[in-house]
Amino acid sequence: HGTVKYKTQYPNFFLCLCLSLHSCFQLRQPLFRRRRYLGRAPDLQFDYLGQRFLSFSIMATRLQFENNCEVGVFSKLTNAYCLVAIGGSESFYSVFEAELAGVIPVVKTSIGGTRIIGRLCAGNKNGLLLPHTTTDQELQHLRNSLPDQVVVQRIDERLSALGNCIACNDHVALTHTDLDRETEEMIADVLGVEVFRQTIAGNILVGSYCAFSNRGGLVHPHTSIEDLDELSTLLQVPLVAGTVNRGSEVIAAGMTVNDWTAFCGSDTTATELSVIESVFKLREAQPSAIVDEMRKSLIDTYV
């Protein structure tokens, strides 16, 4: 009887549209079941055509490392791997696992016997650069744990906090102006990038005062419009001047990001999160965005 009722109540094309949309929305369910896409509980529910769906207001996750909001100091995230400091609480590690497990490896490590790994290394999907203080055991552990295509290289550079001196994505690297020429060549070879000696708002520690992916970047809040334009041209990605952790200018210490997700210190405000999601285009990289695009296509087809 239900079929007769629908046929008498709605035009055939509208019934087809409803059924097609229902089938399309069903695609959401497997995505929600895959834990690797979810770093948090859904915070919004709504009904559409009698079906209940889930939505998310944020794509950047807030967390802290032993009551420290400088999560970029204790982690390093790329499109091919994620490094997290050893000895932290299991909850810190589990946040990265929930987002990334099954997509890229999450590796616990130390560098030079310390936990400030995010400030000591620099890397992208092609490679990982480590300071001369890295022990043989740490070097071997990382080579065994990371994907085979990732080149892991220890370099002899007097400015050993490589994470503070180098900022890079998969195509371009900005570096401290005083790095050795041999180090610059090593960056280009191992990471497969173009290298530019730069400053950010007058600061030579470019790795500390900016964070960027292949989709966008966040830089020191005092960066001038002219410098923003110049940097954006070099990197070929949109840039925004901003802060993390409730006004902190040390961007890379307060967050770590790749092309589809970001992790920020727990003090990061909702406004700062919104800016981060926007400039790094994190919403566009989410499974829900793909389904929304399919829904729009179906509506255009049937209406």
pLDDT of residue 292: 54
- For residues 59 and 148, give the distance between their C-alpha atoms in angstroms, rounded to a whole number: 29
Please give the structure tokens belonging to residue 33.
């079941």
Cβ-based burial of 191 (10 A; exposed 0-12, middle 13-18, buried ≥19): buried
Residue 70: pLDDT band with limits 50, 70, 90:
very high
Please give the structure tokens belonging to residue 255.
């967050």
pLDDT of residue 41: 35
In this prediction, residues 279-283 reach a mean pLDDT of 93
Sign of the four-CA dihedral 182, 166, 59, 142: positive
Mean residue pLDDT of the chain comes to 83
Cβ neighbors of 117 (< 8 A, separation 6 or more) are 74, 75, 76, 83, 84, 85, 109, 110, 111, 163
Q: How far, CA to CA in Å, does 166 sit from each of 121, 141, 143?
A: 9, 23, 21
Residue 296: pLDDT band with limits 50, 70, 90:
low
pLDDT of residue 255: 98
* Residue 10 predicted with pLDDT over 70: no
Query: What is the DSSP code (8-state) at residue 88?
Result: S
pLDDT of residue 8: 40
Share of the chain above pLDDT 70, in %: 75
**Residue with the larger pLDDT of the pair 52 and 15:** 15
pLDDT in tens, 218-260: 999 999 999 999 999 999 999 999 999 999 999 999 999 999 9
In this prediction, residues 179-201 reach a mean pLDDT of 97
* Residue 217 predicted with pLDDT over 50: yes
In the chain the domains, ranked by start, together with CATH numbers, are 2-56+286-302 (no CATH), 60-285 (3.75.10.10)
Residue 94: pLDDT band with limits 50, 70, 90:
very high
Q: Write phi, then psi, for 263 (nearest 5 degrees).
A: -125, 125
* Residue 276 predicted with pLDDT over 90: yes
Do 13 and 6 form a contact (C-beta atoms < 8 A)? no
* Residue 139 predicted with pLDDT over 60: yes
Residue 284: pLDDT band with limits 50, 70, 90:
confident
* Residue 85 predicted with pLDDT over 70: yes
Instruction: Please state the pTM of the whole predicted model.
Output: 0.76
Share of the chain above pLDDT 90, in %: 71
pLDDT of residue 224: 96
**Residue with the larger pLDDT of the pair 19 and 103:** 103
Residue 55: pLDDT band with limits 50, 70, 90:
very low
Neighbours of 132 (CB within 10 A): 11
In this prediction, residues 28-38 reach a mean pLDDT of 36
- For residues 206 and 210, give the distance between their C-alpha atoms in angstroms, rounded to a whole number: 6
